[in-house]
Structure 1
């Protein structure tokens, strides 16, 4: 009777598993990427914290998926979300690919709030929480103030002890500032082919395939498609179904081929291509997530600047909502159980001078009820007669 050593097969499989884990480790450790709390998929931030919390509980946009942002009217709220998405990618060191626009658009991205000073201040606050107050004061007397240290380490994410500091997942941007591009910032602008006998999107798909194939396996890429089919950016024949639908299908193929390295955000003007068109319905089916921005009738291009708060109420003042946000589809893996769905809930968005926020929408109190609340003493319960109809 022959015997064999069982530990040989176990060690071989163990080594194989370790090799697989080592190949996947750089992706999970990539800057600006973290696993989804729903199913563990690698997820990146859209640059808008409130939008990250809306995407099916993934706390961000899962890599390998696309988000279609539709907008009614002549406003450009969707363009603001695109700028946040591109700015977040540049800050995290991702490769940003912008379709159809010129280099000038890249210099109009929003800047960070506080810049390196805020990051350094937050890091010093974390250091204070890790040590006792007596040692903190002792270090100040011996080595001087902590603010006199070299701030370069805070920018590069390296602490004084030589350990790497964790970068924030979603940064805070200010629309009144301009993003300072780092020397190693990687942003490319893909041109649309104006040839009438050829699809304007075919060269773009070829460029994207070449870039992704030649780039390292640890690089993260973001595809930005502003105002798809808009005549200001794309030629007239780009709106033909046999041109735009293969493009979206090609983007979907790239997302499936690089599920942990690529994410796409696309905007579509519904004033030119309404949702009752069959072409738009097919575009939605080829997208993993679909949201619709519907500004209020009084909103216009001049309303993009936030209204000034009343005097003496700047601290507690909240800008009124400027439109509805409808969720039509979310990037959910149904065969894996999916995530929490926000479809059917009432959402509203607000664009201030500094940020874009999404909140649940609720009707304001009736004017008569407000007067009753103001005249009623504090702590007194309403009477039964006041509650009867």
Structure 2
């Protein structure tokens, strides 16, 4: 029988295991657990879209979202811009298929809070206007407050980072705010004898798989595929059904393999590929979530993006409808609600981005709201 001193610490394998579990549970920037089942989710850059996704308050990692849009508008493209800007600010890796590098200059910048800036100006201009011998006390107290704020901010740095940032359409994303990386993959080669004969979809899947395999497990990747099968971005050989469906199958396999590191957003021009065609139906079946954007045929959708001098009332006008056909992780463990499958409306705001909310018909304009007048011109009373 062996004895040990009371002051000696007994080391065991359990302590090392607990230390490893503590290091493994470090928070990932831009990722938080779902309030429904705890699966990791990331923000789409649009708060109203996050609230629409089956109650997960974000896009679950390992899922894809297909957004179809009618007409010649580009509201779905605005969602992609917010999605990419959010990923770059959070430090994620972005993979873009079919766009050129100049598209990066079109990303919206972070919105600044006028209230916080005004408060900081007042605080900096605050000064003790009493005897000169007591003036140093104010500066010493302010220095102590700054040191306390710095210590508190350093300890709670992970908790103060917002999950979904707010962006301003009139600004552009500053290089100082970018923490992630972005890569562009071309879909059409220059005409000539050395033009690529391999499908751009296969090259993209190969490059994406290699980057996911060589990246650290805590790095989140975001993939966008804008205007898939558009004639201006894809060749006729790439638009064949066998090429497209193989790409969707491969993309779905990569999502399931890296279910904690990858999300995908795709847009589809429904004017060229309606939902009644078999190819579009197969693309929807191979996607985890499907949304349909129907812009309203009015003069408001042909106006330029809202400027900094535009009123808030103009930004809140309904510019189209959103039909929710399916949502990612909707039926597992009771996630989601059937109210999200009802028709929604959207409007593009300068400071709040793309706002998605339930659609309600406006009150009918008729003679019922006007007071009834009799022969004498006075309003009559009905009992």
Instruction: Report the TM-score when normalising by structure 2.
Output: 0.78
Q: Describe the superposition over 1:73-108 as per-residue Cα deviations: whole angstroms up to 9, x where unpaired.
A: 000000000000000001111111111111111111
**CA gap 1:162/1:294 in 2 versus in 1, 3 angstroms:** closer
Q: Does 1:208 align with 2:208?
A: yes
* Map of 1:107 onto structure 2: 105
Are 1:332 and 2:324 matched, yes or no?
Answer: no
Measure, in 1, the Cα distance between the counterparts of 2:261 and 2:32. 12
Give the aligned partner of residue 177 of structure 1: 171
SS at match of 1:239: coil
1:378 is aligned to: none
Q: 1:193 to 1:22 in 2, by over 3 A?
A: farther
Asked whether the 8 Å contact 2:306–2:315 carries over to 1, the reply is no
Question: 1:110: Cα distance to partner?
Answer: 0.3
Q: Which residue of 2 aligns with 1:86?
A: 84
CA gap of 1:121–1:214, structure 2 versus 1, over 3 A, is farther
Determine the C-alpha separation between the residues in 2 that align with 1:327 and 1:48. 16
Partner-residue secondary structure (3-state), 2:211:
helix
Q: 1:50-69 to 2 correspondence within 5 Å?
A: 50-69=48-67
Which position in structure 2 is the counterpart of 1:222? 222
Q: Which has the larger radius of gyration?
A: 2
**Structure 1 residues 229 and 161, CA gap change in structure 2 (3 angstroms):** closer
Structure 1 position 187 matched with structure 2 position 182: yes
Q: CA offset at residue 371 of structure 1?
A: 3.7
Shift of 1:309: 9.6
Structure 1 unaligned regions, length at least 5: 1-10, 125-137, 376-382
CA RMSD of aligned residues (A): 3.6
For residue 42 of structure 1, report the CA deviation from its aligned partner.
Answer: 0.5
Residue of 91, 95, 98 corresponding to 1:97: 95
SS at match of 1:51: helix
Aligned to 1:168: 162
| Paired residues of 1:72 and 1:294 also in contact (CA < 8 A) | yes
Q: Which moved more, 1:104-113 or 1:334-343?
A: 334-343
Whether the aligned pair in 1 keeps the contact of 2:321 and 2:345 (CA below 8 Å) is: yes
Separation (CA, whole Å) in 2 of partners of 1:170 and 1:308 = 22
Q: For residue 49 of structure 2, give the secondary structure of its aligned residue in structure 1.
A: helix
Structure-1-length-normalised TM-score: 0.77
> Do the aligned partners of 1:347 and 1:360 also contact (CA within 8 Å) in 2?
yes
Structure 1: distance between partners of 2:300 and 2:343: 22
Alpha-carbon spacing, 1:91–1:308, altered in 2? closer, same or farther (3 Å): closer
Residue 13 (structure 1) shift: 8.0
Superposed CA deviations along residues 351-383 of structure 1, whole A, max 9, x for unmatched, are 13342101111111222478459x9xxxxxxx9
- Conserved in 1, the CA contact under 8 Å of 2:295 and 2:301? no
1:250/1:369 CA distance change after superposition, 3 Å: farther
Cα distance in 1 for partners of 2:80, 2:136 equals 45
Residue in structure 1 matched with residue 282 of structure 2 by the alignment: 282
- In structure 2, distance between residues paired with 1:228 and 1:94: 23
Q: Which runs of 4+ in 1 moved over 6 A?
A: 11-15, 117-124, 307-310
Query: Alignment partner of 1:84: what SS?
Result: helix
Q: What is the alpha-carbon distance in structure 2 between the residues aligned to residue 167 and residue 308 of structure 1? A: 26
Alpha-carbon distance between aligned partners in 2 of 1:384 and 1:19, rounded to the nearest angstrom: 79
SS for the counterpart of 1:201 is helix
* Runs of at least 5 residues in structure 2 that lack an aligned partner in the other structure: 1-11, 122-134, 190-194, 374-380
Distance 1:227 1:87 in 2: 18
Contact 2:93–2:220, Cα closer than 8 Å, also in 1 = yes
Question: Aligned match of 1:347 in 344, 353, 361?
Answer: 344
Q: Which residue of 1 aligns with 2:378?
A: none
* Cα shift readout 1:171-216 (whole Å, capped 9, x = no counterpart): 1001110001237531111222645743221110010011111111
Structure 1 counterpart SS, 2:154 = coil
Q: Report what 1:75 is aligned to.
A: 73
Tell me how far 1:220 sits from its aligned partner. 0.7
What is the alpha-carbon distance in structure 2 between the residues aligned to residue 143 and residue 384 of structure 1? 75
